[in-house]
Structure 1
Amino acid sequence: MGAPVTLTQAPNGAIANQKLLDRIGDFSWLEPTIENPVEGVWVFGGYALAPMSIIEAEDGLIAFDTGDTKHDGQRMFEAIRTVSQKPIKVIIYGHSHPVAGAGVLAEGNPDVMVIGHPNLNEVVEQNMGAGGAPAFFPEVGPYLTARAVTQFNAYMPREGPDAYVVPTNLTAIDFAFLPVNRPVQDGEEMTILGIKMQFFTRYGSDDKVHTTVWLPDRKIVFTTLLWNAPPQLYTLRGDVFRDPREWIAGLRFTRDLNPEVLISSASKPVVGAQKVRDTLEQYLDGVSFVLDQSLRGILGGMGPDELRHFVQFPPYLDEAPPNLQSYGEISTYPPAIYYQTVGWYDNDAANLKPLAPADEARRLVPLMGGREKVLEAAQAALDKKEYAWAAKLANQLYLIDNQDQDARQLKANALRQMAYVSTGANDRAHLLSQALALEGKTTIARLIPPPLESIQANPAKFIDYFRVRIDPIKSDTTNQVICFEFPDGTKAGLHIRRAVAEFIPEPDRYQYKPDLTLAMTGETWAKLYLSLATPEDLIQSGAVTVTGDAAEAARLINLFDRYRPEKAVVIPPACLEHAH
């Protein structure tokens, strides 16, 4: 299924697509590297998930981005000190992700100027205080966080056949963020440490608070819009929609500056006016092709699954250096465009009322001759290198019985081979992580809850998020109002009205008085939210003071799903003994 692929071995022993290894060095670093593309500018790549850059001025340094974690900042600061001993006096944030190493680069200097988009502080604050990774519905942040952990190679070995190839790794999330203290407007000009700069904040890519920096005297542009792979219009970890039109407009704008040097926060630098223009147009045409052909396919009556096969780069775009699909793969983007444009329904009425996947599998497998015949067909497909078909067949048995060891192993084998032939780091991470989990070699978390400190800092927000965990079977005919009180005077409530829990932001102004009031600290609420303690134990210990019936208070809290790490997994662990 698809063109033949030549596999080879990466330096770390990973089995990978030869195409990836032949071309990955064009725009990505596989090892820590310092580049000096033009006088006075250094780029530090391969030290972290994203590179950072330094501009040397007469009496100090200007940093463009700082790393996605404090650890990233520490690594890059050590690298900076190998090329310059000057203090970092100015930090510029390209967007809201690589901001966590700023405190390291500042070395405790309170006078460091921090430049960025006017809304960047607000976005970072929201991200840091949220329930998890940024999400359209923040209540599901823990689910997206867990998917991000998979995407960034957390479950993959560093060496061996199943290792990652592209080091898109995130270390432990630790922050040394410094807020923007000098916001810039679109088109604003400034002279910083003797260097004339112009800032543009109109266009974004994977978030909405990007800043492009233009050095007109030297025709150097610092941008977040050129990545080391085609614009990632959809990320497998899940995210809010990334509008291709905004990315396209930003790329056109950058091209029309006519830069002679392009320094990116997501790829290797590009030097030479013609090379910069060619690179930007190849990249621009790639993302324009994906958008336009997706829309063409929709107009032609295609659904999301058809689009992923229809929208494929023609050879000239596929072979263009910046379009190597080394991060995401474009086959995953058209369905996201479809869902944003049309919604989930593919206009085939046979799909309007689908069976549940497990129910469908229980009906299909007998039609295919039963379990043994499906196993034989899946193995035959694997032998013919039809890996996606093999995975689909094995998955029918897995849906019926996720403890079927033969089905688990066949599915793992198929996913592994799909990973080996993939060029996208995200695809490889998800495929291999699940293959390893099916074999019992790792456990993939389905949810990663927010840290206790985040909940403690804003208990009312997480009382609101708690409402989606109500179990309607348990709540049944319940109709009660709970008020939560905290030592700083904060109050919030939940009205459990049978199958729904309505969040009450101001209980004192609500039309119904509370049936029960629970007084506790933010830390105690965090323990309840994270299921670190039962309501019964906290009430008995005095950590929760109840006004009203204490037993009823515990019952009401227990109407909501508890977080159980051993259950919140993507692939259930295999039982030691299991009969079909």
Structure 2
Amino acid sequence: MNRNNSLDRRTFVTGTFATGALVAAGAAACGCSAPTSTDGSQGAASLSHPPDDTQKNASAMTADANEAVYALLDFSDERERDFASRNLIAAPETLELTDESGKVVWSQKAYAFLDGADGSPAEAPATANPSLWRNAQLNHLYGLFEVVEGIYQVRGYDMTNITFVAGDTGWIVFDPLMSVECSRAAFELVTENLGSRPVTGIVMSHPHVDHYGGIKGIVSEEEVAERSIPIIVPAGFAEHAVAENVYAGNAMGRRASYQYGVMLDPGPQGSLSIGIGMGQSKGSISYIAPTDTIVATGDVRTIDGVTMEFQMTPGTEAPAEMNTWFPDLKALWVAENCTGTLHNLYTLRGAEVRDGNAWANYLMETKARYGAEAQVTFQAHNWPHWGNDVVNEYLESTAAMYKFITDQTLMYVNLGYTSTEIANMIELPSALEKNWYTRQYYGTVRHNAKAVYQKYMGWYDANPVNLHPLAPADTAKKFVEYFGDTDAVLARATQDFEAGEYQWVAQVTNLIVFADPANEAARLLCADALEQLGYAAESGTWRNAYLTGAKELRFGVDDDPKYRTTGSADIQRAMEPAMMLDYLGILIDANAAQDLDLRINLAFTDEETYLLVVRSGVVLYERGVQDESADATLTMERLGMFAILNRDEEAQKAIRVEGDPNVIAKLTEHMAAFEFFFNIVEP
């Protein structure tokens, strides 16, 4: 894209601030002056660029870009606000939840700045895209709500909604949040206002942790066993819960801290909403294994007098996912396939790329199966949509977004364009762009287009220069060598910053940072550029990523445990032996262990036996096989393998070892220790 060309306003609100030339010229033409206030809730501050580590106000270009959003969207359309606030039963005056240690794990109190002094919504400041600001205000509406008689939701108590469906004797609970503390508080709110009823069933729509991690806040494993409480999930749930939250869990967790802004303070210059909620809770994560699996669309379960028909939607928002139809209530649960915002085909924390074409087609199948009767849709994030016409419009318009992104990207692919080129070319048709419930608060058109490219074409752009490029730090060092005078580059970058070229300034200064992390001037200028990009972003996740990067460039990585969820061993304990052995292979540094060759019989007393083979440090295994000439035989329960994975020497004492007495030590010697707070914006 030519940075000197005039730019459509849509470029700003999608989160990509490519140039400030147009709005800078506009500001000069109207004679606008820039207030000098440093309060992020006021107007744009001076464009002077002091080399310090303070958080800056919005520049004039950023302020003007955000102001232009009002001309793009119809802010007088309050239908989504009406839906978000409809049928409120009860809510505490303030909401802030803590764990047993006193750590704040969830707070709506921190977002009080979204409320005006007179109780009306506060006006958006220059440091926030007004569309995202509006979404944050809607997600700030929390409490217990009625969907229809017999279906209730607690919203705003975590990133996710928790839903309570009234059965004959108790509650069928859908998606019990991410943190135990949050789901417990939500259940208490329901009990206080709707009476005490037991949990008689649980449905978990898909295997993302914010949809099951709080399960022990509403029920215990003992209760599930004693009362035979069904825990219903789609086929593939357990496999994908492990793959996403264990195999790559450390890296995903760190990247999620950028996506969800967990290290940012909420505020006009800090974190806002992320489209699907206010952000990520930081409480205790739990897991209870499913007891019932849905395998086909049309499968029906009647639990505690409530009839539910399930629609399988694999490969949409999650590899395993399902919608639920309540025929007696004419109510349609659409899981996370519709969310009141554009979702991700690729998520910034990292995950399998989703299938936009399948997503669209499943939503059209949903419409075909249930659209004639459905009077309300409700879901795992955001608020319901009422009225048969609205339901069908909602399903079809959402499907159209994913279909457009998929088809348009593939058209460009076949014209020979690369992933980055397509991301800079693709623009929504006007009618699709203006739907409030598919705005780009969470996913973005540009990143989703890249996801489509990746799904069909992979990472390679066909240019042989990119077959095996230098590592980022090595590339940066060579660039800096070619720059010659880094100070001159920074002086030029400062001029570009003043002109509003924030994306370019971030790119060029980050090269210097990767070549020389100690270059303070480059760090601070890169931080300031990222900050302006964050202020203009409509996507809450882009805003969080930009502002978190700016914070870490200024102050370094803060490894305070308060920024993390409280981990649980539940998900690892639930792994089948094959999953544990796969994870063992991930843990072992095969290069460091390249001289290690072992054959170990795993004689599980509560599972099928396995032969573990370590060949040149690579972990392989055979199910149902034992080798008489193995180096050792380990006789143990399945959780004995868990003790090995966690280097728990005390628990390992329960393992009976026949053969090489040092075989466990040899296995664990070359296990990697994953550091959570690894660097992202510097090498």
Contact 2:111–2:266 (8 Å) recurs in 1: no
Displacement of 1:77? 0.7
Identity of aligned residues (%): 21
Q: Provide the residue aligned with 2:155 in structure 1.
A: 45
The one of 215, 227, 236 equivalent to 2:348 is: 236
Please show how residues 458-537 of structure 1 align to structure 2 within 5 Å.
461-462=579-580, 464-468=582-586, 474=592, 478=595, 480-481=597-598, 483=600, 493-497=612-616, 500-505=617-622, 509=626, 513-514=630-631
Does the Cα contact within 8 Å between 1:103 and 1:176 map onto a contact in 2? yes
Tell me what 2:266 maps to. Answer: 158
Deviates more, 1:76-85 or 1:52-61: 52-61
Is the 1:96–1:207 Cα contact (8 Å) retained in structure 2?
A: yes
1:386 match: 501
Change (3 A) 1:531 1:149: farther
> What amino acid is the match of 1:346?
D
Displacement of 1:525 after TM fit?
7.5
TM-superposed deviation, 1:397:
0.6
After TM superposition, the structure 1 stretch with the greater mean CA deviation from structure 2, 263-272 or 447-456, is: 447-456
Q: 2:232 aligns with which of 116, 124, 131?
A: 116
**CA offsets, 1:530-562, max 9 Å, x none?**
6789xxx999x9999896696x9978855x364
Instruction: Show the counterpart of 1:72.
Output: 182
Determine the C-alpha separation between the residues in 1 that align with 2:304 and 2:639. 46
Structure with more relative contact order (C-alpha pairs < 8 Å, separation 6 or more)? 2
2:326 aligned with 1:211, yes or no? no
What does the per-residue CA deviation read over 1:104-157, in whole Å, with 9 as the maximum and x for residues that have no partner? 4458475475363452xx623x456x4x735xxx74343223323443332222
- 3-state DSSP of counterpart to 1:162: coil
* Residue number in structure 1 paired with 2:212: 99
Cα drift, residue 264 of structure 1: 1.7
Deviations 1:469-503 (A, max 9, x none): 66576557x36436487896977645343xx5343
1:81 is paired with a residue whose SS is helix
SS in 2 for 1:277: helix
How many correspondences in the alignment?
553
Q: Deviations over 1:209-235 (max 9, x none)?
A: 433222335432121121121132111
Go from structure 1 to structure 2 and tell me whether the alpha carbon gap of 1:37 and 1:462 turns closer, same or farther (over 3 Å shift): closer
Give distance in 2, aligned partners of 1:111 and 1:532.
33
Partner of 2:386: 271
Preserved contact between residue 73 and residue 102 of structure 1 (Cα < 8 Å) = yes
Are the equivalent residues in 1 in contact too, given 2:182–2:214 (CA < 8 A)?
Answer: yes
- CA change 1:331–1:518 in 2 (3 A) is same
Where in structure 2 are there 5+ consecutive unaligned residues? 1-17, 24-61, 68-109, 115-124
**Segment drifting more, 211-220 vs 414-423:** 211-220
Q: Counterpart of 2:381 in structure 1: which amino acid? A: A
Q: 1:455 to 1:255 in 2, by over 3 A?
A: closer
Maintained 8 Å contact 2:424/2:446:
yes
Describe how 1:102-501 pairs up with structure 2 within 5 A: 102-105=215-218, 108=223, 110-111=226-227, 113-114=229-230, 116-117=232-233, 119=235, 123-124=237-238, 126=239, 130=242, 133-134=244-245, 139-159=247-267, 161-166=269-274, 167-175=278-286, 177=288, 179-181=290-292, 183=294, 185-189=296-300, 197-202=308-313, 205-224=316-335, 225-256=337-368, 257-258=371-372, 259-440=374-555, 442-443=557-558, 461-462=579-580, 464-468=582-586, 474=592, 478=595, 480-481=597-598, 483=600, 493-497=612-616, 500-501=617-618
TM-superposed CA distance for 1:53, in Å, is 2.6
Task: Using structure 1 for the length normalisation, give the TM-score.
Answer: 0.80
Shift of 1:23: 4.6
Query: Does the CA-based 8 Å contact 1:156-1:163 persist in structure 2?
Result: yes
Partner of 2:475, secondary structure, is: helix
Task: Check whether the contact 1:139–1:465 (CA below 8 A) recurs between aligned residues.
Answer: yes
> Structure 2 counterpart of 1:351, which letter?
N
C-alpha change, 1:488 and 1:55, in structure 2 (3 Å) is closer
1:23 touches 1:324 (CA, 8 Å); kept in 2? no
Structure-1 separation of matches of 2:145 and 2:497: 44
User: Is contact 1:365–1:396 with CA below 8 Å preserved after alignment?
Assistant: yes
Deviation at 1:570, TM superposition (A): 3.4
**Following TM superposition, by how much is the alpha carbon of 1:368 offset from its aligned partner in structure 2, in angstroms?**
3.5
Any idea what SS the aligned residue of 1:238 has?
A: coil
Alignment-derived partner of residue 22 in structure 1: 134
In the TM superposition, what whole-angstrom CA distance separates every residue of 1:409-460 from its partner, at most 9, and x where no partner exists?
A: 2222222222222122222232222222222254369999986676677687
Distance 1:183 1:323, change over 3 A: closer
Q: CA distance change for structure 1 residues 496 and 63 in 2, over 3 Å: closer, same or farther?
A: closer
Choose 90-99 or 240-249, whichever is displaced more. 90-99
Which has the larger displacement, 347-356 or 402-411? 347-356
TM-score (norm 2): 0.69
- Whether the aligned pair in 2 keeps the contact of 1:546 and 1:553 (CA below 8 Å) is no
The unaligned stretches of length 5 or more in structure 1 are 574-580
* Bigger mean CA offset, 42-51 vs 482-491: 482-491
Distance in 2 (CA, whole Å) between partners of 1:282 and 1:457 is 39
